[in-house]
């Protein structure tokens, strides 16, 4: 039979009876078979606190997640903008790397200045001009070793071009390329204020194509200018002509190829044509002694300087119209590839019928298309700064989210532990019940409550069973 011990603690014992300082409570004896409801109450409070901690932690996680999402969106947006800028910068850089350049040294610039002193001296004799031109040309010979070019543009490398049948757009592109090189040379040598710049026009390109076709259609194979052919074409554009072995407009580059099989292919790429055009111009500018520097003074414009002076053309209106075309022809077991660079000085000595020249598009300037958008350094730097700031905010939000998630995980673990303890306390409480004045156990088995009465001195007065009809202190329990 299970026994429950009810301990009644008396603070005062009088002859008239016993007075209690508190209600009787059930305490576990040494066997630990009895417990109180206070433990369950404590566990319930702990569980509620843990749940509150979980709720707070979840709120913090939600807030951190929101901040993280915003930071991530900012990073993605800024990163996309930076990538776009970087792509443009890369494209611009690649375009710049593929742009032909011209380099000159101080000696070449000094020689040019000396030559200009003679060229601009109205009292200089022809002999003096000729001697100055020779000295200048010899100084410019240094430039050939200073310059090189290789077209690496993917589009140029992949675009087929036929020496004998350029499209108009391809001729335009080669003309822009040549104009870039020639104008750079004029600028580097300090000639622009004297000779002006070259510009590409529809008429000049058309004339270059007509000249190239004239060579090919007439099957001209001599290693020199086709003088009569050039003059015939020039006449149709309202330009001045000359007779004999003379012409005013063409600078010609010829390459002779020989193949023992006699099989020649005129199809190449735009990259190859630009490479050959660049080399041809470098030879004309900086390696032209064999031609008495005739190509040099033509492309650099000093040959026509006096025409501008005679026409009193302001320095900012001195223009030379430029066009480029190619052709090729097989003859005598060889393949002749030719580059025709046509330059027409905007001066009365050369444009005789201006109406015809204008009608042919001689003055209709073609502007090279812009292939990339160049961004200044400040714009790029600003975007890079924005990206760095967004990345810092993102990293901070990520760390905050991690910390909040860690706290949530701990709070959830604490809640789980508290709920387990509460469940255990509820189970124990339901099995033992709570104290009543009778002290009767909830056990379904028969039970006897034993009362131990302790006096004021702490000594046990006696022990009785509540079932004992002779229990002398029953009145105290009933009154309590």
- For residue 340, the cross-strand partners are 252, 325
Q: What is the pLDDT of residue 69?
A: 84
Calculate the average pLDDT of the chain: 82
231 burial type by CB count under 10 A (0-12 exposed, 13-18 middle, 19+ buried): buried
> 392 or 64: which carries more pLDDT confidence?
392
CA distance 444 to 166: 112
pLDDT in tens, 53-76: 878 878 877 887 887 788 778 778
The structural domains of the chain, with segments of one domain joined by +, span 37-98+376-433, 102-374
This prediction's pTM: 0.63
Whether 325 contacts 208, CB under 8 Å? yes
108's tokens: 């070449």
pLDDT for 301 equals 97
What is the rounded CA–CA span in Å between residue 327 and residue 75?
Answer: 55
Q: Which long-range contacts (CB under 8 A, 24 or more apart) does 374-377 make?
A: 374/88, 374/92, 375/85, 375/88, 375/89, 375/92
Q: What pLDDT is stored for residue 448 in this prediction?
A: 60
What are the two backbone dihedrals, phi and then psi, of residue 449, each rounded to the nearest 5 degrees?
-95, 125
């Amino acid at each position: 039979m299970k026994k429950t011990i009810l301990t009644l603690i008396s603070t005062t014992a009088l002859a008239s009876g016993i007075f209690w300082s508190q209600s009787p409570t059930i305490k576990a004896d040494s066997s630990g078979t009895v417990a109180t409801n206070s433990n369950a109450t404590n566990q319930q409070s702990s569980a509620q606190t843990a749940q509150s901690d979980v709720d707070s932690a979840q709120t913090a996680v939600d807030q951190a997640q929101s901040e993280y999402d915003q930071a991530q969106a900012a990073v993605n947006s800024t990163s996309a903008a930076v990538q776009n800028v970087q792509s443009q910068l890369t494209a611009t850089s690649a375009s710049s790397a593929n742009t032909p350049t011209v380099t000159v040294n101080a000696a070449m610039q000094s020689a040019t200045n000396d030559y200009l002193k003679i060229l601009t001296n109205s009292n200089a004799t022809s002999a003096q001009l000729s001697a100055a031109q020779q000295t200048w040309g010899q100084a410019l010979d240094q430039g050939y070793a200073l310059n090189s070019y290789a077209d690496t543009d993917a589009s140029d490398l992949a675009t087929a071009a036929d020496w004998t049948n350029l499209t108009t757009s391809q001729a335009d592109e080669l003309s822009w390329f040549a104009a870039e090189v020639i104008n750079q040379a004029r600028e580097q040598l300090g000639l622009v204020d004297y000779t002006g710049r070259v510009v590409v026009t529809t008429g000049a390109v058309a004339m270059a194509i007509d000249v190239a076709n004239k060579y090919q259609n007439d099957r001209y194979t001599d290693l020199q200018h086709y003088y009569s052919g050039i003059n015939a074409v020039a006449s149709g554009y309202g330009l001045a002509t000359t007779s004999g072995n003379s012409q005013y407009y063409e600078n010609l580059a010829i390459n002779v190829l020989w193949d023992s099989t006699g099989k020649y292919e005129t199809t190449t790429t735009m990259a190859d044509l630009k490479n050959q055009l660049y080399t041809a111009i470098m030879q004309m500018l900086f390696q032209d002694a064999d031609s008495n520097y005739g190509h040099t003074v033509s492309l650099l414009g000093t040959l026509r300087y006096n025409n501008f002076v005679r026409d009193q053309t302001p320095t900012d209106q001195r223009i030379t119209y430029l066009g480029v075309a190619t052709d090729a022809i097989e003859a005598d077991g060889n393949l002749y590839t030719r580059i025709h660079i046509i330059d027409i000085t905007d001066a009365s000595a050369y444009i005789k019928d201006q109406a015809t020249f204008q009608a042919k598009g001689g003055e209709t300037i073609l502007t090279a298309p812009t292939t990339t958008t160049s961004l200044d350094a400040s714009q790029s730097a600003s975007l890079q700064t924005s990206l760095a700031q967004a990345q810092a905010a993102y990293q901070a939000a990520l760390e905050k989210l991690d910390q909040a998630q860690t706290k949530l995980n701990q709070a959830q673990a604490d809640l789980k532990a508290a709920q387990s303890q509460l469940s255990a306390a509820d189970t124990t409480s339901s099995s033992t019940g709570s104290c009543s004045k009778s002290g009767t156990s909830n056990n379904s088995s028969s039970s006897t409550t034993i009362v131990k009465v302790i006096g004021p001195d702490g000594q046990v007065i006696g022990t009785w069973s509540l079932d004992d009809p002779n229990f002398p202190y029953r009145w105290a329990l009933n009154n309590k």
